[in-house]
Amino acid sequence: MDEKTYYWYDMEQQILKCWEIVDDLKLIAEQANNGSDFSNTFKGMAELYQYKFEKLWDLYEKALKEKNYETT
């Protein structure tokens, strides 16, 4: 792999690692699954971050295609 490929691969890995927050928020909501505002807040946050990361991933894939880089 050349240096540019490593850059894109590293970026991909960081995005995926950060995306794990969605699972963390869902786990917290599940642990407090009593229909409380606390539980609902974490469920809402999980949905919000899922949406944000989907938009980020779409942008990342678009940038890869425009630069003709592939990570696989």
| pLDDT one-digit tens code per residue, 12-35 | 999 999 999 999 999 999 888 777
Residue 49 lies in a domain: yes
- Phi/psi class of residue 2: alpha, beta or left (left: φ > 0; alpha: ψ in -120 to 50)? beta
- Looking at residue 45, its pLDDT comes to 96
| pLDDT one-digit tens code per residue, 57-66 | 999 999 988 8
Residue 18 lies in a domain: yes
| Rg of the chain taking only CA atoms, in angstroms | 16
* pTM: predicted TM-score of the whole model, two decimal places: 0.79
Residue 51 lies in a domain: yes
Query: How many domains does one find in the chain?
Result: 1
Enclosing domain of residue 21: 3-67
Helix axes 37-67, 3-19, angle to 10 degrees: 170
Q: Which two tokens stand for residue 20?
A: 């794990």
Residue 72 lies in a domain: no
